[in-house]
Amino acid sequence: MRMGPRLKAALLSALLFAACLLAWHVATLPKAGPGAAVDPEYAKLMGLDKSRSDGLPTLTQIGATAWKQLSHPFYDAGSNDKGIGIQLAYSLGRVGLGFALAALVAIPLGFVIGLSPLVHRALNPFIQVLKPISPLAWMPLALYTIKDSAASSIFVIFICSVWPMLINTAHGVASVRREWLNVARTLEAGTWRTCVQVILPAAAPVILTGMRISMGIAWLVIVAAEMLVGNLGIGYFVWNEWNNLSLSNVIFAILVIGVTGMILDLMFAALQRAVTYTE
């Protein structure tokens, strides 16, 4: 029986995943020799945490950590001890707010730039200078002016999200077919109606591509920003667990970051497909 391309891709992905697990298992096998392993009773007597080892944690340790974290994701035992669900919710909230503010600025401004060559030529030098600046480079200035770590993180998300949306919106609007605009002009449609009923649907796939890129960058940046200044969030969780030398929790958090980023990307990909017109 022939396999379709999707089934082949899924099978290949499963094989690669199994190979990665096997490689991890082999890499974390206990080494022979004196001092290679710590006796459990000695570790218990000395108060050692077995998850804090000199080497990488085993798959069993990571699985136990994942079960522990996912069994009680919203526990709250103090400022430095909160469940992964609470940490993830704070990060998603900051990303969502900064991303929404960026969309409110970038999409209307991108429409103006795309519709007006004069505005494009006037603003392009500023865009080209500000776009390459690392979002984290804005963090000291944000902390100095805003004086709040959470608001500063949101500002950094805003800065990193605005440029892909702005550039893609301007490109999408400027690339709308002239024939469609001529038809709207022939039907005596006003500027607002032309923008909403002609330009926006035509440019929507390109705009959503920019939003998809912005969300990926925003999710990447928030982790680094929370490592620097956050007292809550998935980035702070990674940094705090590293300070506690709990590599199992660090690796689990990395997996959570990756899965969450994949889900966000799939959501925007679905939206992009929904607004894409195929002849």
Summarised one tens digit per residue, pLDDT across range 167-208 is 999 999 988 888 877 787 777 777 788 888 888 888 899 999
Share of the chain above pLDDT 90, in %: 36
Instruction: Enter the tokens of residue 48.
Output: 């050692």
Task: Give dist(CA 108, CA 201) in Å, integer.
Answer: 14
The structural domains of the chain, ordered by start, are: 94-231 (1.10.3720.10)
* Angle, in degrees to the nearest 10, between helices 247-275 and 84-115: 40
**CB contact at 8 A, 93 and 234:** no
Residue 176 is predicted with a pLDDT of 84
Q: pLDDT tier at 24 (50, 70, 90 boundaries)?
A: confident
Residue 33 is predicted with a pLDDT of 53
Higher-pLDDT residue of 111 and 187 is: 111
Question: In this predicted structure, which of 24-28, 107-111, 216-220 has the lowest mean pLDDT?
Answer: 24-28
Higher-pLDDT residue of 3 and 13 is: 13
Asked if pLDDT for residue 277 goes beyond 80, the answer is no
Summarised one tens digit per residue, pLDDT across range 26-80 is 888 876 554 444 444 434 444 444 444 457 888 888 888 888 888 888 888 777 7
Residue 157 is predicted with a pLDDT of 93
Residue 167 is predicted with a pLDDT of 94
Which residue type does 172 have?
A: G
Which residue type does 111 have?
A: F
Averaged pLDDT score across all residues of the chain: 84
Residue 194 is predicted with a pLDDT of 81
Asked if pLDDT for residue 246 goes beyond 70, the answer is yes
Residue 59 is predicted with a pLDDT of 87
Residue 54 is predicted with a pLDDT of 56
Residue 45 is predicted with a pLDDT of 42
**Number of neighbouring beta carbons within 10 Å of residue 220:** 14
Asked if pLDDT for residue 106 goes beyond 90, the answer is yes
Distances (CA, A) of 25 to 19, 79, 97, 262: 10, 35, 40, 25
Residue 39 is predicted with a pLDDT of 44
| Three-state SS letters, 218-268 | HHHHHHHHHHHHCCCCHHHHHHHHHHCCCHHHHHHHHHHHHHHHHHHHHHH
